[in-house]
Structures are given as C-alpha cells and as structure tokens.
C-alpha cells in the first residue's frame, strides 16, 4: 500500500505538460473571442462608414440645382470609395419628390447606382422619413445600402446590409432637376442600374 501511496504522491506533484494542457484548453476560447471581437469591430466600422458616406452624398447632391445621371454615378463612386462593403457593391438611389397637392407626391426623377431599386411612384416612398411638405415644395431622398459579411456569424452578428435613408430639401434652390430625366424616372439613362421594365409605373411631369 505504501508503494501505491508513494506513486500517487509522485504523480500528484508532477507538473510536466501542465502548460501545454492549459494552452490546448484555452487556445480555442481565445481564438474564438478574438474572431468575434474582430467581427464586431468590423461591423461597427462598416456601419459608421456607411453613415459618413451617406451624409457626404447628401451634401454633394443637395448643393446642386441641376444634375445628370453621370453626376449621380460620380457621387456613387465617391460613396463607394468611403465605405468598406463586403460581398457586393454598395448601392445608392437618389430621388427627387414634388408635392403636387395635399395628397399627391410626384416623382420628378430617380437614379440608382450599382443596381439599387429606383422609385417610380409615391407608393414606393418610405413615408416614415418623408416630412410634411407644402404644396409645390420639393425634396431629395437619398437611400444607401452597404453589405456586411462578418468573419464569424453568431447571435445577432450575421450577414446584413446597413441601410440609410435621408430626405432633405435643396440647400440653395427650390428644386434639383435632372437633365437626363426631363419627364420622369422612366427616361433614366444610368448605365450602372439594372434594365428597366417598360411596364413599370412612373408619373410624367406636366
């Protein structure tokens, strides 16, 4: 019995390989924590970049009185250079809206970059962010989308698109016109958007 007791005491005091064992146990936990932290940081960075880029686009467009689809494409390129999107290109849609009467908003023009969804009719407008408008008042709606793909998907940290929608009145003019769409969004010439359904609804300007 004494021999067995001595053997147990010997192995109980033997600490050889303890560090390797601890590393084998803790390494996966540390690596998982590092990847999750990096994913959260990357998501926050992408989110803040999307906000910054959207307000930059708003500032560039709201100062104009006349634009073209090419100009909106240029703004889209600037927007894309600011954000850090994952998987696919960020989208931007710029739409001019006119309050015709108390119940009617008319889409003056709408331009999309990188396959964004253009707006043709007031039923497609995000009413929650459109302020009350006086008859004859015009505003510009800027909608952006920035794809995000986390390193590790866990809980609410999943693939998503950070979207922003901002409605603003022109800064120095009553309305911003688009010479490429003189009678409404159905006359778009933007090369970067998807093909337009000829049956899509749009309101012509009088």
Scanning the structure block, which residue is given the tokens 């390494």?
27
Lowest mean pLDDT among 4-8, 16-20, 29-33, 109-113: 4-8
Torsion 152-153-159-165 (CA) sign: negative
Locus of tokens 């300007």: 205
pLDDT above 50 for 59: yes
CA distance 135 to 104: 9
Q: What is the pTM of this model?
A: 0.73
pLDDT at 35: 79
Q: Residue 57, CB half-sphere, CA atoms under 13 Å: how many?
A: 37
Sign of CA dihedral 128, 131, 135, 138: negative
pLDDT in tens, 145-179: 999 988 777 777 788 899 999 999 999 989 999 99
What's the sign of the alpha-carbon dihedral 52, 105, 194, 179?
Answer: negative
Mean pLDDT computed over every residue of the chain? 81
Contact 138, 108 (CB under 8 A): yes
Q: How far is CA 100 from CA 67, 121, 206, in A?
A: 22, 13, 11
Tokens of 134: 């006086």
95 backbone dihedrals φ, ψ, rounded to 5°: -135, 135
pLDDT (mean) for 36-40: 83
Residue found under tokens 């390989």: 17
Of the candidates 72, 109, 108, 106, which has an alpha carbon nearest to the alpha carbon of residue 92? 72
């Amino acid at each position: 019995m004494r021999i067995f007791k001595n053997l147990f005491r010997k192995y109980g005091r033997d600490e050889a390989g303890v560090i390797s064992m601890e590393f084998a146990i803790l390494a996966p936990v540390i690596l998982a924590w590092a990847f999750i932290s990096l994913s959260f940081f990357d998501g926050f960075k992408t989110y803040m970049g999307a906000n910054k880029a959207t307000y930059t686009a708003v500032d560039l467009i709201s100062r104009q009185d006349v634009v073209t689809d090419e100009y909106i494409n240029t703004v889209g390129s600037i927007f894309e250079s600011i954000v850090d999107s994952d998987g696919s290109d960020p989208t931007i849609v710029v739409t001019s809206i006119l309050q015709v009467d108390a119940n009617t908003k008319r889409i003056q023009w709408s331009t999309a970059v990188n396959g964004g969804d253009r707006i043709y009719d007031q039923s497609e407008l995000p009413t929650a962010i459109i302020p009350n408008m006086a008859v004859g008042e015009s505003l510009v709606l800027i909608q952006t989308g920035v794809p995000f793909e986390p390193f590790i998907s866990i809980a609410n940290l999943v693939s998503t698109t950070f979207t922003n929608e901002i409605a603003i009145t022109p800064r120095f003019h009553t309305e911003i016109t688009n010479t490429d769409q003189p009678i409404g969004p159905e006359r778009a010439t933007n090369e970067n958007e998807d093909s337009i359904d000829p049956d899509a609804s749009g309101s012509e300007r009088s």
